[in-house]
Structure 1
Amino acid sequence: MRKLALSLFLTGFMALSSHADTLKMQPDAPDRYVVVKGDTLWDISGKFLKDPWKWPQIWGMNKQEIQNPHWIYPGDVIVLDRSGANPRLSLLKTEKLDTVKLLPKIRVEPEAEQGVPSIPASAVNAFISQPFVMDEGALKDAPRIIGAQDDRMVLATGDQAYATNGKTDTLNWKILRPGKELKDPDTQEVLGHQVEYLGDAHTVAPGNPQRILITSATEEIQAGDRLKPATDTYSFRYIPHPPATSIQGRVISIYGGVSEAGQYATVVLNQGSRNGLDVGTVLAVYKKGNVVDKVRLPDSRSGLLMVYRVFDKVSYALVMQIHRPVNILDTVRNP
């Protein structure tokens, strides 16, 4: 039976001395660790490193080097060798009685082939292709749901409805509803419009109008909701790294409409690809210091975020580590 695998590239381990000023081992780092089902690369790195997001540095990883992977399976053993001048990691395979040096890298594959991801897949699966940020009016010409044959106002999974013609050969759709405007809290620039994902549909009878079957619904669907071709694909290319430029940004929204975000929650930032962010960028989140006796105290760090989806002016980030809840208008900076 095929085992779930943690996809890692195993070629070598850099000496700790060259990164002694920034990379530190956990004081209780184990001599060996047995990989178990449900592990993530972030979790395993945290067994050995105080800052688990820095594993690409300690393993000498280049973001472009994602070829020729070996695999780590549940039951394999990661060994910390303290006998030399510098600690080393090696991997003792369960299926082969040999030891190889360890250099993790994420293998980008279709989701069904991925095995254990670098971060909890359950935390981001629901957000990879569903949250959208679009310019105003981007859905103006998109097909829209007209209604059902029996004049029902609310539609759900399994219901059939009619929609305007998409003028394409598309048969599979995402059902969307224009959402709130996203503004930069400092400049008041409109950064885009968050689009609400409502479910999926399939064309069962093309035409104008076309007849669609609602195959899944996360919320109530109504006449006027829009259809977008379900053609999005995504690779889980999560290689954590610091920003390439200096970042000073804000949390402008918390997905789900809540006021606070905990671990593995999704937050929206007012920084995007135009600011130098890309998938895997790690940022520290800070709370503004209070004013005491007319003196503003320094901002205090709350935790770490990792960007996993990027648009031009905004991005979605996952709360990875947290000391206290993240709130709207909290600041994000280089870690």
Structure 2
Amino acid sequence: MLKSLRLSLTAAALACAYALPAGANPYPITEDQRATAERVAQAGVPLDELAPNAPDSHTVKRGDTLWAISSIFLKSPWRWPELWGMNRQQIANPHLIYPGQTLYLVKRDGRATLQMSPGGSSAAAGESGDVVLTPRVRTTDLADNPVAAIPQHLIEPFLNEAIVLDSDELAAAPRIVAAQEGRVMLSQGESAYVRGIQQPMSSYRVFRSAKPLRDFETKEVLGYESVYLGTADLTRLGGETLNQGDKLEVPATITVRQMRQEIGVGDRLAPVPTRNYSRYVPHAPGKPLGGRIISVYGDAITAGQNQIVALNRGSADGLERGHVLSLWRAGRVVKDRTDNRNEAVQLPDEAHGVLFVFQTFKRVSYALIISVKEPVSTGDRFSEPR
């Protein structure tokens, strides 16, 4: 019997990757890594994990995300590495999926995989009957960027704004000590004077004093979250001068370039980080993992879909970027009125939403609410997806 190979989306992507010009693929793929990806691709997912109305094919459109595409095919979108044969731990950027490509659902032997051509026509059969992956160069309009894992625009601004410190390090950060003409608050384009700059940089983020993030149950401080105010450019270095024989410090000068909130005397400066455009691979934690929401980012008391929350677990607890988590609604205490005793009973907790972790610190993480049925509040529970 001829041996068949189920060609997954990732296997096809790997074939393309091998044909890229030198320097185009920043993540080299070894033969062992490709073999692992192909082995996973042969497994797929059981048919009962498919969505009830999973189509036979889907053409990728602008605005699609990997999460949305996987939701079309799967009951649990975070299981897409199995469906697509994605070796997420070794292949850092497998998302070679572009608008205009068509994905086909292949069902064999009680399992399903995705591939980029019907019936495996993108592979050529060798003399032995084995399927041979043929590297090919795919041309595309440069405007057609590969689809992102989740709606990237929802988290990109946050990646430059969020800062969580293990201790209140901002207390020693450069600080605004005065503004022009005796002002207390600054507007965009106005200048201010800063002390404490040790290593000058061209631009800075401006933060208000950090607030402690406390564990919901133990009240232990897990980190310090600072409120992002805007950005400022360093326009003049500080120095020293003599005033009636006394040596005085001359503060550095900054100019406010962008404002999110009012900037004033006492606010602190931090370096502007490199823009982070990591393409995340959503996946379930490899072990049981649970905790509580400790804050809603911003000024809101509750949060809904596409809002950001802070979790009381971080990289030290095994939480990592791309982890998908279930949100739980606490079961109500009700009276059993079916007999004369009217005993109180605790209803079970119910899963009612999905979190996507996109930023981790040592003991705190931030997650995007992908879906939710009811408003999310501080103290709500999360766990590995179930």
Alignment partner of 1:141 is 2:172: yes
Residue 58 of structure 1 deviates from its aligned partner by 2.2
Alpha-carbon distance change, 280 to 71 in structure 1, aligned in 2, over 3 angstroms: closer
Structure 1: gaps (5+ residues): 1-6, 103-111
| Aligned partners of 2:294 and 2:312 also within 8 Å | yes
TM norm structure 1: 0.85
| Aligned partners of 1:244 and 1:276 also within 8 Å | no
Partner of 2:300: 258
Partner of 1:108: none
Partner of 2:241: none
1: CA distance, partners of 2:364 / 2:116: 39
Superposed, 1:54-73 pairs within 5 Å as 54-66=79-91, 71-73=96-98
Alignment partner of 1:190 is 2:209: no
| Aligned partners of 2:59 and 2:103 also within 8 Å | yes
| Aligned partners of 2:98 and 2:145 also within 8 Å | no
| Structure 1 residue identity aligned to 2:233 | H
| Structure 1 residue identity aligned to 2:358 | Y
Residue 66 of structure 1 deviates from its aligned partner by 2.1
Partner of 2:35: none
Superposed, 1:240-259 pairs within 5 Å as 240-259=282-301
Residue 150 of structure 1 deviates from its aligned partner by 1.5
* Alignment match of 2:312 (pick from 261, 270, 275): 270
Superposed, 1:14-53 pairs within 5 Å as 14-16=42-44, 19-20=45-46, 24-53=49-78
| Aligned partners of 1:147 and 1:162 also within 8 Å | yes
Superposed, 1:217-228 pairs within 5 Å as 217-228=259-270
2: CA distance, partners of 1:153 / 1:307: 38
4+ aligned runs moved over 4 Å, structure 1: 67-70, 82-86, 112-115
Identical amino acids, percent of aligned pairs: 39
Structure 2: gaps (5+ residues): 1-8, 15-37, 124-130, 134-142, 239-249, 336-343
What are the Cα deviations for residues 56-115 of structure 1, in whole angstroms up to 9, with x where unaligned?
12223222232685732211111223477644422159xxxx73699xxxxxxxxx9964
Partner of 2:347: 297
| Structure 1 residue identity aligned to 2:184 | M
Superposed, 1:35-184 pairs within 5 Å as 35-66=60-91, 71-82=96-107, 86-92=111-117, 99=122, 115-184=146-215
| Structure 1 residue identity aligned to 2:67 | W
* Alignment match of 1:326 (pick from 366, 376, 380): 376
| Structure 1 residue identity aligned to 2:301 | S
Alpha-carbon distance change, 173 to 81 in structure 1, aligned in 2, over 3 angstroms: same
Residue 186 of structure 1 deviates from its aligned partner by 1.0
TM norm structure 2: 0.74
| Structure 1 residue identity aligned to 2:355 | L
What are the Cα deviations for residues 161-217 of structure 1, in whole angstroms up to 9, with x where unaligned?
111141113221010112432111211111122101111111111114111111111
| Aligned partners of 2:188 and 2:259 also within 8 Å | yes
Residue 130 of structure 1 deviates from its aligned partner by 0.9
What are the Cα deviations for residues 266-298 of structure 1, in whole angstroms up to 9, with x where unaligned?
100111112110111111110111111221110
1: CA distance, partners of 2:316 / 2:52: 40
| Aligned partners of 2:106 and 2:113 also within 8 Å | yes
Q: Decide which structure has the larger Cα Rg and report it.
A: 2
| Aligned partners of 2:282 and 2:356 also within 8 Å | yes
The RMSD of aligned alpha carbons is 2.7
Alpha-carbon distance change, 125 to 27 in structure 1, aligned in 2, over 3 angstroms: same
What are the Cα deviations for residues 30-58 of structure 1, in whole angstroms up to 9, with x where unaligned?
12211111110101111111111110122
| Aligned partners of 2:174 and 2:268 also within 8 Å | yes
1: CA distance, partners of 2:154 / 2:297: 12
What are the Cα deviations for residues 132-168 of structure 1, in whole angstroms up to 9, with x where unaligned?
1123431122111122222222212221211114111
Greater share of helix: 2
